[in-house]
Each structure stands twice: as structure tokens, then as C-alpha cells.
Structure 1
Amino acid sequence: MGASVPAPAPAAARRGRLRVADRVYRRIAGQAAREALAEAWAGRSAQGAPPRVSVARPGSTVTVRVAVDLPFPADLAGLARGVRDRVAERVVGLTGTRVSQVVVVVETLVPRAAR
């Protein structure tokens, strides 16, 4: 009796595809934006609204739009860049989908609360 030989894996085109729902992209991006801004909001009594996220999937990539409130005064460009980078990194890392663009829209600047 000979040893059984496993069948070869089917070609990639025959294995199927994974389709990630838009709500999954939105949840991942929202959590990543909150994580990116957590340190900036730490210790403030006035907090901004949670990030609002929308996604579009042109072809095999995803475009993410994140609307955020930012603390003021702060390095607004640095915070927006941090959100953009974190969102792109997390979406690619968790879904394997290429991110074509992350648009960060600053909706509101939230000043420090009066003491």
C-alpha cells in the first residue's frame, strides 16, 4: 500500500473570492480613527463626536471618507495625517483590500472647556 498523496490546491480563480461588506470597512475605519485620536482627546472634558465613516469600492480597492471632530488647539494637520495613516494601515491589515484613498474631513474644532 502506498501513501496517499493530497490533491493539488485549486487555482486561485477556481477557489472563489472574499467580499467584505461596507459596514465592516466602516467599523474598522471608525475604530482606527478613534485609536489615532485617543491621545489628543485624553484629559479633556469636552469630547468630539465619534468619527463618521463612509466607503466606496471602485473596483478592487476601497476609498474611505472619515469625518472627525478635532481638539483645538492642536496640530490639526498632524492629527489628520495620523487618522489617515492609521485607517489605511488597519483596513489593509485586517481585510487585505488595497486602500486607494483616505479622505479626512474635519467637521468641528472643539475648544478646551472653560475651567
Structure 2
Amino acid sequence: MSTSPRATPPRVAPADRGATRIADRVVAKIAAQSAREALVARPEQAAAPHATVTVHHDIARVRVSLELDYPSDLAAQCAAVRRQVALRVEEYAGMSVPEVDIDIEHLHSTHVRPTTAGRDRRLR
């Protein structure tokens, strides 16, 4: 019985091995989670941030929908979300993010408190 060494396959350059494609919905999940991380305080009755993404080559354009407290510094919160989303998508997916659009879907007023029946009562 002969034990000859196995021939090793020729090395293939990394560029010739193939490509990895990350689905848009995966990038959207990264963006939504990043938006949650960026928001220090979210209204307790608010829906979680939601993101939609369009990817072209290695460039992701992101739109995030948020619900925020009012009154608060909306601009600062949106800026924090933009920074965090761009940072995480670039870090996790390896894509550049030239723009992150923010849609504020709902403002939760601190002057409106739910009653025990679950309905909103507005203070005058």
C-alpha cells in the first residue's frame, strides 16, 4: 500500500473565488437594530424603528421610520440615528452609506397620558 502525499489544489486568488451578496432585508435589520441602539429613550408605547434599504453594488441607501417623544431634541435624536446606522451598516455589511433618511412617523406627547381604560386623555 502506497501512501503518496495528496496533491494540493492550486491557490485561487480571492477575487476569483466568488462574491458574497448580503440581502437588502438583512441590511434593513442591521439598520433597524442600530436605530434602536442610538435612541437612548423611546416612548414605551412606541413601535420599534423600522428600516428599508436599497443596495446597489456596495452602496446602501437607508430609510428609517421612528416614533419619538415630544417635546425633545428631534434633530439630535435623528443625527444620532444617522451616525449609528451608517457606522453599523458599514461595519457589519461592509457597505458605504451615503445617506440615511429619517421619517418620524409619530410623536408621543408627554402631555398625553393613557387612562386606565387604555384611551388617550388630552390635558388642556
Structure 1 length as normaliser, TM-score? 0.80
Q: 2:47 maps to which residue?
A: 49
Q: 1:3 maps to which residue?
A: none
| Cα RMSD, aligned residues only | 2.4
Determine the C-alpha separation between the residues in 1 that align with 2:38 and 2:58: 26
Determine the C-alpha separation between the residues in 2 that align with 1:54 and 1:31: 12
The higher radius of gyration belongs to: 2
Stretch moving more, 27-36 or 104-113: 104-113
Structure 2 residues not aligned, in runs of 5+: 1-7, 115-124
Structure 1 residues not aligned, in runs of 5+: 1-5
Determine the C-alpha separation between the residues in 1 that align with 2:78 and 2:96: 20
| Preserved CA contact (<8 Å) 2:58 2:94 | no
Following superposition, the deviation at residue 99 of structure 1 comes to 1.4
User: Relative to total residues, which structure has the larger strand share, 1 or 2?
Assistant: 2
User: Relative to total residues, which structure has the larger helix share, 1 or 2?
Assistant: 1
Determine the C-alpha separation between the residues in 2 that align with 1:10 and 1:72: 57
The runs of at least 4 consecutive aligned structure 1 residues that moved more than 3 Å come to: 6-9
Q: 1:94 maps to which residue?
A: 92
> Aligned residues: percent identity?
40
Instruction: Report how many aligned residue pairs link the two structures.
Output: 109
Mapped pair 1:63 → 2:65: no
Structure 2 length as normaliser, TM-score? 0.75
